[in-house]
Structure 1
Amino acid sequence: MLGYTITQWIFGILSFMAIMFALMVVFSRNPVNSVLYLVLTFFCIAGHYLLMNAQFLAVVHIAVYAGAIMVLFLFVIMLMNLNEDAEPQKTMVSKIIAGVIGGMLLLVLVGALKGTSQLGLSQYGHSEIGLVKKLGHVLFHEFLFPFEIVSVLLLSALVGAIMIGKKEIK
């Protein structure tokens, strides 16, 4: 208990919160609340990325998953107008089978992780590998030509999409 660092405490708190929010996603009866709990789970996972010194991955995770995909999920859920009357009810047998299969999966995961030692992520690779400065240096020095080719391809796709979507003037 005395040998824990602040990083280990933050990891434990983030892990607990991520698991609790993930369980709330599963057990919430309102689909909109489930999506919001999933966004909170994504924020906790982004916190784990920050602990592993992967700032760029954390920002991209928030922007892509919590920002874009979850907004689409919310729009779809709200457009579908889900009611309890329209939702098919699950039988008790299917709930028991789902519980047994989930328990077996948990048993397999615990058995697989039982023999592993503590994960020492800091001992692998360079300590600054996830920094944006390092990524930018590699991107603009070693991969400058492919980066420029991708930018030209994206620009041509943008122009093509505008030309296809433009109304014809008669």
Structure 2
Amino acid sequence: MEQAFFLLLAAVAVTAALLVVLARNPIHSALALVACLVQIAALYVLLGAPFLAVIQIFVYVGAVMVLFLFVIMMLDVRKEAQVRFLRGPLLPGLVVLAVLAGEMIALLLHSTRLHAVMGPGQPVLEQPSVADLSLLLFQEYLLPFEVASVILLVALIGAVVLAREDGASAAKAARKEPRGAAR
């Protein structure tokens, strides 16, 4: 039964990830990313790591997706996506996709850790505690954690500055136009 749930969650996550890439509307792409992240959180619960599932929901689905949607709404990405969408041949992209898929399959087939975990009768390893995870995150990986937060802050400030420049140039153009010219 657990394997059936895993396969269902994994299939929905992969489908949502494909929709992230293939959706033409950026809002639909962001919503598909939310669905994919929720499926990953469900996989964490299935693996016996509820703390990671809650962190996945709070940090990625809550905070990061709100930031993405905020940037999409401020920059009017829909108009830009229609203008810059490349309609070139699909062959190079499909070749890269096939090479990456082949590498992933080769890595999975030759992984000794995967075969050890998937083997029958293997004892379940003890999950680390929340205290161990927090110590690892805030001692060993404190710098990458802080760098990621600064990058998100810079992206937010950049979006505000870009949106402000567009609004300022539109206001300046409206001031230069004489009032009687519109009639």
TM over 0.5: yes
Aligned Cα RMSD in Å? 2.9
2:85 to 65, 82, 89: 89
User: Of 17, 32, 54, which residue of structure 2 is paired with 1:37?
Assistant: 32
1:54-74 alpha-carbon deviations (Å, 9 max, x no partner): 010100010000000000000
Q: How many residues align?
A: 132
Residue by residue, what CA displacement relative to the aligned partner does 1:110-165 show, whole Å, maximum 9, x if unpaired?
A: 12212342734973531xx25xxx435x69xxx7xx99xxxxxxxxxxxxxxxxxx
Q: Secondary structure of the residue that 1:61 maps to in structure 2?
A: helix
> Is 1:123 matched with 2:123?
yes
Structure 2 CA distance, aligned partners of 1:111 and 1:70?
33
Post-superposition CA distance 1:32-87 (Å, at most 9, x none)? 11011101101100011111110101000100000000000000011111215763
Q: How does 1:34-113 map to 2 (within 5 A)?
A: 34-82=29-77, 83=79, 87-93=83-89, 95-113=90-108
Q: Per-residue deviation at 1:99?
A: 1.6
Q: Distance in 1 between matches of 2:5 and 2:81?
A: 43
Change in 2 beyond 3 A, CA 1:50/1:29? same
Give the TM-score of the pair, scaled to structure 1: 0.67
Q: After TM superposition, which residue ranges in structure 1, 4 or more long, deviate above 6 angstroms?
A: none
Give the whole-Å Cα distance in 1 for the aligned partners of 2:117 and 2:10.
15
Would the alpha carbon gap of residues 92 and 44 (structure 1) be closer, same or farther in structure 2, given more than 3 Å must change? Answer: same
Offset at 1:103?
Answer: 1.1
User: In 1, distance between residues paired with 2:16 and 2:116?
Assistant: 25
5+ residue gaps, structure 2, are 140-183
- Once residues 20 and 70 of structure 1 are traced to their aligned partners in structure 2, the CA distance between those partners, rounded to angstroms, is 18
**1:13 to 1:106, Cα distance in 2 relative to 1, 3 A:** same
Give structure 1 stretches of 5+ with no counterpart: 1-5, 148-170
Q: Give the counterpart letter for 2:85 in structure 1.
A: Q
Q: Percent identity?
A: 33
Distance in structure 2 (CA, Å) of the matches to 1:97 and 1:104? 11
* TM-score for both structures, normalised by structure 2: 0.62
Match for 2:8 among 13, 17, 20? 13
More helix by share: 2
Shift in alpha-carbon separation, 1:69–1:119, aligned structure 2, 3 A: same
